Each structure stands twice: as structure tokens, then as C-alpha cells.
Amino acid sequence: MAAFGSLLTLRPTPPVTPAEAQLAVPAATAPAPVVAGQSVTARQTGRLHELYAHEGQHVRQGQLLAKILIKTASVPQQQLTSRLNQQQLAYAALLAQRPASAPATLAEARQQLDATRQQLARLVPMFSFGYVVAPTDGLITRTLVRLGDRLTPTSAVVRLADFPQPDTTQLLTRVD
């Protein structure tokens, strides 16, 4: 028992005034301060396909938050779109021409425009996925989108706040 006595020896501490005690002990009900957050944007145009984050979730830098379905043009679509633009310019030039172009020439230009539009409509679009990741460690304070929403590069997906700083206030006690 004597060996343990030295471990349990209590040394008196200097008296603490009530004002010092209030400064040293934080209120138990005070919430940890949350630093104003940042909006995490989609940075791509597409539809929200999956959302992996929810309000109150702690996330790490680089963690996947959302998956975006992106419609991309295939090479044939790009070629037809270019051809359509050229045909539209040529048709506009025919309409602006003075004296007016022959009705047969205008009809042929309209048919070419319609044929190109139909070809473009029949092509199957290509899809790929884009991802939204957490730029820093933090806490999701708000989800700003729903599944199926159309997103642009500036669309905010979630609101991310920094983790609150841990309370390192020392607790002063007095043992008499």
C-alpha cells in the first residue's frame, strides 16, 4: 500500500477566483462554432445521377460527393452539326441575296437542312460520367441538389464547412 501512496498524493493548488473559473470552463451547452462554409460546384454540365453525401456527414479531401451524367457529342454528331451550321449560313445568304434566289434553289437548300436535321436526330448520343469530389476535409452542412437536376459548371452541389476547431480550453479544478 505504501507504494501506491506516492501516486495518490494530491498537491494543493492556488485558490481560483470565481471570475477565473468562469473563464476557464466553457459552457456545456454552447455549440462548437462552425466556420462559414463554401459551396462545392459541379464544374461540368449534365444531370445529377447519384449523390453520395448527406447533411451532417464528415467528408475528407478527395472523397466522392456526386456523380454527373454528361451527354457528349460523338464524331458523327460533331460532323453533322458542323454541316448543319454551314447549310444554315448558306440558306441565310440565299434569302438575303438580291435579286432573290430562284424558288427551286431555296427549296433545295431547305431540303438539305431538313435532311441533315433528321440525320442528326437519329444519332444516339454518347454519355460519360463526371464526378464531384470534396475540395477539403469538412462537414456537409447542406445538400443543394436532387437526383435528376440539371447542373452547370457553376451549380452548387453541397455546402461544405470546415471542421470546428477542437475545444482546448483547460479545466481548472481545486482540491482542498
pLDDT over 70 for what percent of the chain?
Answer: 74
The whole-number pLDDT of residue 100 equals 79
Of 14-23, 39-48, 58-67, 69-78, where does mean pLDDT reach its minimum? 14-23
The whole-number pLDDT of residue 111 equals 95
Question: pLDDT digit string (tens) for 112-160?
Answer: 999 999 999 999 889 999 999 999 999 999 999 999 999 999 999 999 9
One-character DSSP codes across the chain: -HHHHTTSPPPP-----HHHHHHHS--TTPPPP----EEEE--S-EEEEEE---TT-EE-TT-EEEEEEEEE--HHHHHHHHHHHHHHHHHHHHHH-SSPPPHHHHHHHHHHHHHHHHHHHHSPPEEEEEEEE-SSSEEEEEE---TT-EE-TT-EEEEEEPPPPP--PPPP----
pLDDT at 15 over 60: no
pTM: 0.58
The whole-number pLDDT of residue 81 equals 94
